[in-house]
C-alpha cells in the first residue's frame, strides 16, 4: 500500500501568478461567506441545520481546482464552499440557505441539500455516508458508458466508520470505478475524535484490505491538495483505479453553528486557528515570494466583502417558493395521483384555518 504523501509546501512554480491569486480569492470568499452565513443563522434568516467550512478553505479550493468539467462530485452536508468553488455564484447559494425560490435547489433543500446539475454538483447529503454508494454508482456509470471524467465522494472522517463506506470501497475496486474517496479529516466526527472513534486512525489506510491506494495530504496547503488530487484523478480516469485521499485540516468551530464545541479545549482551538489557518499561511507565502503585496490583499478583501453582501441582499430580496408549488418537485417524472397545485392551496388554507377539511 501507499506511503503517506509528502506534505511539504510545494514550489510556487507549480502554479502561475494568476492561479495563485485566484486560489487566495476563492479561499477568502469561502471564509467570508461562511462567517456571514453563521451571522445570518443567528439572525434567523437561515433555518434548520447549518454546517460551516471555516478552516477547511484550502482543502476545498485545492480539490475543486484539480477537477475538470466532466467530473462529478457528491458531498456531505458541509458543502457550501464546494459548490461555490465549483463555479456557482454565491447569490443562489445564499438564497438556498434562506429557503428562497432563487436558490440552487429552489429553496427546497436548504443548507444540507445544495445541488447544481450544470456543474455536475450532485448534492449534499444529510445522512452520514449517504453520498458514498451513489458516487460509486455514478463512477460505474461513467466506466460502463465509456465517458470521460471521474467522481469524487467527499466525506468527513466519521463516515469512514460506517458499513456503506466499506461496501463502496469493495465495489469500487472490484468494478474498477474511477472514483476518489476524499476524506476531510478535521479530527472530529461531530464531538468524537478520530482516535476515539476509529481503531485505525490513519484514514488513508482504510482501503488496504481492498487493495485501494491511499494517501494523506496537508489540507491546509491548497497546492498540495490540488497536486495530489490531480495525480490520483488522472490515475483513476486512465486505469479505473479508485483512491483514498485523507486531507487533514483544522475545524475552526463546532460541528454545526449550534454546537458549543465544549468537547475541545478552548486554548487548543485558539492555537489551532493561529497555526493552521490556511488563508493566513497562503497570504504569507504569496507576500514572501512577491506574488502579491499588502495593497492587493486589501483590495481583494474589499471585493469579497462586497460580493458576499450582494449575495445576502440577493437572498433577502428573493421571493419565497409559491404555495401552489408545494408538491412540484416531489418526483423527477410525472407520477399518477401526485397532488396538484389546487391540492397545495387547499392544504395551506386548511392549515391556516380558512375552512374545515
> What value does the mean pLDDT take over residues 307-314?
98
What is the reported pTM?
A: 0.91
**Which pLDDT score is estimated for 195?**
85
State which H helix or E strand residue 188 sits in. Answer: strand 188-189
265: three-class secondary structure by DSSP: coil
Dihedral of alpha carbons 65, 71, 75, 81, sign: positive
Gap between the Cα atoms of 5 and 97, Å rounded: 36
Are the beta carbons of 164 and 129 closer than 8 angstroms? yes
Q: Which three cell numbers stand for residue 264?
A: 475541545
Q: 58 - beta bridge partners? A: none
**Mean pLDDT on 181-187:** 94
Note the helical H segments in 240-340: 266-275, 278-288, 294-317
Strand partners, 75: 124
Nearest alpha-carbon partner for 161 in 125, 124, 126, 192: 192
**4 has pLDDT over 50:** no
Looking at residue 13, its pLDDT comes to 67
Q: Is the pLDDT of residue 222 over 50?
A: yes
Instruction: Show the cell assigned to 301.
Output: 478583501
How does pLDDT run across 77-94, given as a tens digit for each residue? 999 999 999 999 999 999
pLDDT band for 55, please (50, 70, 90 cuts).
very high
Kindly tell me if the per-residue pLDDT of 2 is higher than 60: no
CB 6: neighbour CB atoms within 10 A?
A: 14
State yes or no: pLDDT of 132 exceeds 80: yes
Containing 243, the helix (H) or strand (E) segment is strand 243-248
Amino acid at each position: 500500500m501507499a506511503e503517506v504523501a509528502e506534505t511539504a509546501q510545494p514550489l510556487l512554480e507549480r502554479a502561475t501568478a494568476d492561479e495563485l491569486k485566484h486560489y487566495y480569492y476563492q479561499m477568502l470568499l469561502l471564509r467570508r461567506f461562511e462567517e456571514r452565513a453563521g451571522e445570518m443563522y443567528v439572525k434567523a434568516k437561515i433555518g434548520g441545520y447549518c454546517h460551516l467550512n471555516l478552516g477547511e478553505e484550502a482543502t476545498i479550493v485545492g480539490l475543486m481546482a484539480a477537477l475538470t468539467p466532466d467530473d462529478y462530485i457528491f458531498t456531505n452536508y458541509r458543502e457550501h464552499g464546494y459548490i461555490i468553488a465549483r463555479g456557482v455564484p454565491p447569490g443562489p447559494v445564499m438564497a438556498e440557505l434562506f429557503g428562497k425560490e432563487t436558490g440552487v435547489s429552489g429553496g427546497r433543500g436548504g443548507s444540507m441539500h445544495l445541488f447544481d446539475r450544470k456543474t455536475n454538483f450532485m448534492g449534499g447529503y444529510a445522512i452520514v455516508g449517504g453520498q458514498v454508494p451513489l458516487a460509486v454508482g455514478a463512477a460505474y456509470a461513467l466506466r460502463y458508458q465509456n465517458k470521460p471524467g471521474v467522481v469524487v465522494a467527499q466525506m468527513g472522517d466519521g463516515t469512514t466508520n460506517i458499513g456503506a463506506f466499506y461496501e463502496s470501497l469493495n465495489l469500487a475496486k472490484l468494478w474498477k470505478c474511477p472514483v476518489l474517496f476524499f476524506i476531510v479529516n478535521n479530527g472530529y466526527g461531530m464531538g468524537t475524535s478520530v482516535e476515539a472513534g476509529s481503531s485505525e486512525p490513519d484514514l488513508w489506510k482504510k482501503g488496504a484490505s481492498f487493495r485501494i491506494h491511499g494517501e494523506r495530504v496537508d489540507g491546509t496547503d491548497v497546492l498540495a491538495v490540488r497536486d495530489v488530487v490531480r495525480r490520483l484523478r488522472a490515475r483513476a480516469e486512465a486505469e479505473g483505479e479508485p483512491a483514498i485521499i485523507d486531507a487533514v485540516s483544522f475545524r475552526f468551530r463546532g460541528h454545526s453553528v449550534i454546537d458549543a464545541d465544549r468537547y475541545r479545549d478552548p486554548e487548543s482551538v485558539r492555537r489551532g486557528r493561529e497555526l493552521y489557518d490556511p488563508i493566513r499561511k497562503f497570504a504569507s507565502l504569496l507576500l514572501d515570494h512577491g506574488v502579491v503585496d499588502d495593497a492587493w490583499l486589501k483590495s481583494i478583501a474589499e471585493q469579497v466583502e462586497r460580493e458576499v453582501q450582494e449575495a445576502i441582499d440577493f437572498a433577502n430580496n428573493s421571493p419565497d417558493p409559491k404555495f401552489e408549488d408545494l408538491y412540484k418537485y416531489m418526483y423527477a417524472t410525472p407520477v399518477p395521483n401526485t397532488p396538484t397545485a389546487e391540492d397545495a392551496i387547499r392544504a395551506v388554507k386548511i392549515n391556516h384555518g380558512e375552512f374545515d377539511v
